Structure 1
């Protein structure tokens, strides 16, 4: 064990002593802890850095277990005041570095993780919107085809097991095709399908609002989805609100049906397996 001279009273004390046994002078000040990410001063017991948010429990424990390195300066007495000044200067330099470099490595990692999660959420919503539109389009196609058949058979007095209960409810044809379509839309089974399409539209509209600001890598996918959405709206509209003559309705419905199928095929390349 080596003996050193107390800088305050000049008495000889052990170089391992934290305080002078003669005058109480602090010989080995407690070492401060700094964040390994940004350099901010840490206080024991903190769960994260107050400056950058980096978890510090492990690095605090590591720093507490480190043995301080000895620095021997021959012929020079380092006073307590000089040590304080040096410590302050180091802290200022470290904090200045944080200001200059801005975002820390931890913050960059955190931002990258959050971005990856947002992209994953966007991808999931994109696929959900596509599948939901496909389901609604399928139901609209079934309803639209039935509307066309009822409309046609009511006008041209065609018998058909599927449409007779709407066109010939009493065993003979109704006098006006509008009566046949009215019978169709008050039918509980058919009206239930129309309600399902309406709810499907509400769900799709909500998803499209979430998807309107796509990440850079999903802009092409969003454009394809928008085309599918336009065709989907046209097709479901034919089912929920038929209008015009039989000829114009049939043409509008067939075009919407074809556009929906083609836009869905274009959308498939952006979907997962």
Structure 2
């Protein structure tokens, strides 16, 4: 006690010299002291020599004792801030990884399901247009055949009855508004189907083979439809080639059905 004021001694955290707890600077080493009365709350107490050391220091500044795993003294209790921070970091990291994995998994499932719908829709539309083209091809063959062999048929009569030969009969057919309307409808649907080639690029892993099969189907269908409408060659070569291209188309369709549906 000095002049009625109770003095307390503390150890300088730098040189361990006993000094007044009111001192701002250590008189022994000149170390700048923390002037907060609660300074000890942010200091580590060395278990080896008892000196206080700043929490940012990994070893005791007085004796060199490792302080990494020590707890910080606060209100009479010690809390392991560093250990807590490390644990919190790893817990946060693990939670982030798990959450990211769940989001990616869900996103991939949605993308896969959407792709499956898209490719199945494209296949259905291709086969629908192919069926329309088949009807057109059959009509061409009927008019052509009946004109060559002078057959009387109510379905082809308006094209063949007044025609001098099969060329004129076919010209009558391709000039018919109802028939040309069918061809226009097929062409419009072809344009819509063409967009699927772009939509279906970069398929999910499980659909890579299906996409290859889809391209084969697309090329077979395009070749078939274009040939039907072109009406090239003689009657015999036209009907023979039409049959071959139809077979290639159906084979491609069977292949992709196996890939998509396992049928």
TM-score by length of 2: 0.63
Q: What stretches of structure 2 of length at least 5 have no aligned partner?
A: 1-20, 22-35, 39-70
Q: CA deviation at 1:243?
A: 1.5
Q: Aligned Cα RMSD in Å?
A: 3.5
What residue number does 1:78 align with?
A: 74
**Contact 1:235 1:256 (8 Å CA) reproduced:** yes
For residues 77 and 102 of structure 1, the distance between their equivalents in structure 2, rounded to whole angstroms, comes to 30
Q: CA deviation at 1:125?
A: 0.8
Counterpart among 126, 150, 157 of residue 133 in structure 1: 126
Q: CA deviation at 1:96?
A: 11
Counterpart among 138, 141, 145 of residue 138 in structure 2: 145
For residues 197 and 133 of structure 1, the distance between their equivalents in structure 2, rounded to whole angstroms, comes to 10
For residues 239 and 90 of structure 2, the distance between their equivalents in structure 1, rounded to whole angstroms, comes to 73
Deviations 1:11-60 (A, max 9, x none): xxxxxxxxxxxx9x8xxxxxxxxxxxxxxxxxxxxxxxxxxxxxxxxxxx
The count of residues paired between Structure 1 and Structure 2 equals: 195
For residues 117 and 92 of structure 1, the distance between their equivalents in structure 2, rounded to whole angstroms, comes to 35
- Partner of 2:240: helix, strand, or coil? helix
Counterpart among 251, 255, 260 of residue 262 in structure 1: 251
Would you say 1:156 and 2:149 are equivalent positions?
yes
Deviations 1:126-160 (A, max 9, x none): 10011001101111111101111212222332222
For residues 90 and 110 of structure 1, the distance between their equivalents in structure 2, rounded to whole angstroms, comes to 27
Identify if the C-alpha distance between structure 1 residues 265 and 96 changes in structure 2 by more than 3 Å, giving closer, same or farther: closer
Q: How does 1:1-273 map to 2 (within 5 A)?
A: 77-78=73-74, 86=81, 90=85, 94=89, 98=93, 104-168=97-161, 172=162, 174-272=163-261
For residues 182 and 156 of structure 2, the distance between their equivalents in structure 1, rounded to whole angstroms, comes to 16
Q: CA deviation at 1:165?
A: 0.7
For residues 103 and 263 of structure 1, the distance between their equivalents in structure 2, rounded to whole angstroms, comes to 46
For residues 251 and 191 of structure 2, the distance between their equivalents in structure 1, rounded to whole angstroms, comes to 23
Q: CA deviation at 1:247?
A: 2.1
| Higher RCO (CA-CA < 8 Å; seq separation 6+) | 1
- Partner of 1:104: helix, strand, or coil? helix
What residue number does 2:33 align with?
A: none
Q: What stretches of structure 1 of length at least 5 have no aligned partner?
A: 1-8, 10-22, 26-72
Structure exhibiting the larger radius of gyration computed from Cα positions: 2
For residues 227 and 188 of structure 1, the distance between their equivalents in structure 2, rounded to whole angstroms, comes to 33
**Contact 1:129 1:208 (8 Å CA) reproduced:** no
Q: CA deviation at 1:86?
A: 4.0
Deviations 1:140-189 (A, max 9, x none): 11110111121222233222211111112xxx3x1242322222122222
